[in-house]
Structure 1
């Protein structure tokens, strides 16, 4: 009687870790241009486009933007609130918008500004940063004002999934200074405490860290050290009054890591796809000119932004 032999164990296969968000963002900014386009379907924009203020109009608006710009834009930033206001049908449109944008090769930064503690923050992270989730995005805006440590579930989830977070630090709204410019016990501003924590998360990352900070482009000055080795999302370009030419004075030496965000000043050109694309290309050219000008001899590069 021949004894049966036990088959050898199957060789272990190692799964490569996902490419970090910072590396993917750096490549997208370098190839497609340093610009984030907000998908903010204001009621006024829907009306301007001749669309009804309902989920059908919302879907036509959002998908038109993605179809026109998806293969040309580095980052889309859908504002979750404009979809949530239509309830479950609006969230379904948001899911479709995120999926279509990522299929087109654009990165998606979900602008939801989530912030909470413990299991609730963990649930937010699972909603937006876990692969396979219906709203899975490349990055998420988060609020650190329950303490930077409250963001740990999102930070850990993002690191594991190769996604990113953008931490509110110096927002452009006038009310923000009440908290962000306040002085902490050690003498730093609250904004600087958050920026220093972001920098610690990004230590050693190359070519760019995956934890970004939000710094409004409309600020007269930063008053803080913005060297966080990560991306700096700069909302406020366009309708809010800032221009690409304003960026070098505010960001100084960290300008190459700045991702300006524009929404209404691009979206007002719809629903004509060609007009939308023309606006984006003009903005990308202006931002690149500002970065190149700052890097030229005599430019602002090499000066430190802030203090």
Structure 2
């Protein structure tokens, strides 16, 4: 099962964290930008190449200490077709380095459209006859649940068919999440009802290590809600955004874990990508700064959950 693969990588690295690759061109050191602009021009292709070089160097520096990366598709889509190519190449490069790739796309729709989204990121696209190819060969993606079971089932089917996983939005880390997710309905919040559905959906594809391929997104910025959700979804792996730049701490994320020290993987994006800026390193040391921050994050989280 895909979730078993992720757990193995977490155990091998002794690190329950994932690095979010959410690059804007201004995060890329100037020397990389200028090299790529010289080759490709000051255009979308030059930007996309600079981001790809940035991503590759970060992956090279981090791949021995982290189990996974999480590229957010919006940060690539904003740079057009060239950005989409960079997303594809980033996924491919990370997987070739042995990393588990969670592509943060937050996709969903009804029926055949949900099937198409799932095919793009989890399944295989048919060219003709028995010729099938990977469009974006992700190990996992994020999914929006607010169209109900018929919008989720195609993703669940592909998880089982292609040995992939998904993380369904339950309680997100943003400040206004409560406007919808905290609404009370029939004595429960919306996020509690979604959690119960995730728990139900997850029973369709359980792994051998006690967790399902159907995971949940639970923000680090809401530790009390996380503790409640952990009880509702005992066999669900949590993808935990909101650590670091959004204000979540290692103590905040502790409630997302089970007593076995498993059950959650914590994301940091800007905190690691931009560590060289935050820690005032020289530009050429950006990858070393990212490594230092990734190790600090790992150790801080482990100290709070073990």
Normalising by the smaller structure, the TM-score range is: 0.7 to 0.9
Superposed CA RMSD: 2.1
Alpha-carbon contact 1:221-1:250 (below 8 Å) kept: no
SS of corresponding position for 1:105: coil
2:78 corresponds to: 85
Of structures 1 and 2, the larger Rg is shown by 1
1:196 corresponds to: 196
1-structure distance, mates of 2:255, 2:63 = 30
Is 2:7 the counterpart of 1:26?
A: yes
Alpha-carbon contact 1:129-1:163 (below 8 Å) kept: yes
1-structure distance, mates of 2:9, 2:255 = 24
Match of 2:58 among 40, 65, 77: 65
Deviation at 1:256, TM superposition (A): 2.6
Deviation at 1:199, TM superposition (A): 1.3
Ranges in structure 2 where 5+ consecutive residues have no aligned partner: 35-45, 125-132, 277-283
Higher helix share: 2
Query: Cα deviations across residues 17-40 of structure 1 (Å, max 9, x unaligned)?
Result: xxx111111111111210010001
Ranges in structure 1 where 5+ consecutive residues have no aligned partner: 1-19, 293-307
Deviation at 1:251, TM superposition (A): 5.5
Q: Map of 1:127-276 to 2, 5 A cutoff?
A: 127-131=120-124, 132-184=133-185, 186-203=186-203, 205-207=207-209, 208-222=211-225, 224-227=228-231, 228=233, 229-249=235-255, 253=259, 256-270=262-276, 272=285, 273-276=287-290
2-structure distance, mates of 1:210, 1:49 = 41
Deviation at 1:220, TM superposition (A): 4.8
1-structure distance, mates of 2:246, 2:148 = 29
Runs of 4+ deviating beyond 6 Å: none
- Residues 49 and 285 of structure 1, relative CA distance in 2, 3 Å threshold: farther
2-structure distance, mates of 1:259, 1:48 = 32
**How many residues of Structure 1 are paired with residues of Structure 2 in the alignment?**
272
